[in-house]
Structure 1
Amino acid sequence: MIDGDTIEIHGRRIRLWGIDAPESAQLCRNDDSNLYQCGRAAATALAGLLWAIKRPVQCTSVDRDQYGRTVATCQLGTPGPDIGQWLVANGHALDWPQYSKGKYENAQHGAEKANRGIWAGSFVEPWQYRACVKAGGRPAACSDDSDGRR
C-alpha cells in the first residue's frame, strides 16, 4: 500500500481505477471542525482492509497513467469485494466520475448519507487539492478551502 488509492504488488505500483482518495499530506475537517490527516487515514484504512481480509489481490488492468503506473480495478480474492468500491463506500475515497463514469456513485451517496469517513466533516476534493498545490499553494492552505464539500 502506497497511499489511499495506490497499492504495490510485487514491486509494481497500481493506481486504483475510478476513485480518488485524499493525498498523503491532505487535511480535512472532522465533525467537530478540527483538522485531521485524512490522506493518512485513507491509507491506513486501505492497509487495514488488505491486512484484515488476507486474501490475494486480483487486479484487472484498465490503463496506464501519466506516471507510468498501471491503472486497474482490484478485488480481494476471486470473486471478492472491489477495493475501490469499499474505499468509496466507507468514505475514504471519492468516486472520480471523470474516469469512472459514475460506477461508484451509489457507494458515495451511501457514505455521504451515513457520514462515513471524510463525509463526517468537510474536505476539498483531492483533484482540487492537487491543482492548488501544483499552482504553488501550501498543502495546509490547499486543504482548508472555505468552499469545501459539505
Structure 2
Amino acid sequence: MLAALALANALPVITCDAPKVHDGDTLRCGPERVRLFGVDAPEVKRGKTPAAPFAYEARDELIRLTRGHVACRFVERDRYKRFVGKCWSNASPDINAAVIRSGYATEYRRYSKGAYAKAEAEAKSTGRGHWAGR
C-alpha cells in the first residue's frame, strides 16, 4: 500500500493559471492539452457538426471551475497523446467530479471504472443539467 501511495505521489503534476478551456472535458495547461480523467462531456460545434445538447453549459462550468490556479496529476496519455489527468483548483478540490456533479457531463466509466459514480448519482438525484426532468 505504501508503495502504491509513493508511486501516485511520484506521478507528474502540471500547474497553470486560468487555463484555456476547449470544451467540458478538455483544457490547455501550459503546453499540455489535458483531458479530464473519467469525464465525458458533450462535444462543442466543430465545423459543420452542430454542438451536442449542454455542450456549452459543460464548457462554461469547466471555465468556472478553472479560474485561478489549476493543477493536474497525470494518469495516462490517451490515443491522441493528450495528458489525461485528475485536476483541482482554487474553486474545487476535484474538478473532474465537480463537472460530473453539475449534470453537464457524465462519468466515462470505460476508463474511470466507477470512480465518479457518486458524483453522477448526485447529479441524477438532484435533477441537474441533462438529468433535469428525467
The answer to whether residue 90 in structure 2 is matched with residue 69 in structure 1 is no
Letter in 1 for 2:27: I
Give the Cα separation in 2 of the matches to 1:10 and 1:83.
Answer: 18
The alignment partner of 1:102 has SS state of coil
- Show the counterpart of 2:32: 12
Give the Cα separation in 1 of the matches to 2:115 and 2:130.
Answer: 19
Give the Cα separation in 1 of the matches to 2:52 and 2:93.
Answer: 28
The answer to whether residue 130 in structure 2 is matched with residue 118 in structure 1 is yes
Q: How far did 1:112 drift?
A: 0.6
- Show the counterpart of 1:88: 100
Letter in 2 for 1:64: R
Give the Cα separation in 2 of the matches to 1:19 and 1:46.
Answer: 11
Within 5 A, what are the aligned runs for 1:131-142? none
- Show the counterpart of 2:42: 22
- Show the counterpart of 2:12: none
In the TM superposition, what whole-angstrom CA distance separates every residue of 1:91-147 from its partner, at most 9, and x where no partner exists?
A: 1210111100101001101101111011115xxxxxxxxxxxxxxxxxxxxxxxxxx
Structure with bigger RCO (C-alpha 8 Å, 6+ apart) = 1
- Show the counterpart of 2:63: 47
Structure 2, unaligned runs of 5 or more? 1-20, 46-50
Contact 2:65-2:89 within 8 A present in 1 as well: no
Identity level (%): 39
How does the TM-score come out when normalised to structure 2?
Answer: 0.75
The alignment partner of 1:110 has SS state of helix
Give the Cα separation in 2 of the matches to 1:68 and 1:95.
Answer: 21
Contact 2:23-2:56 within 8 A present in 1 as well: yes
Aligned length: 108
Give the Cα separation in 1 of the matches to 2:72 and 2:123.
Answer: 24
* Cα RMSD, aligned residues only: 1.4
Moved over 6 A (4+): none
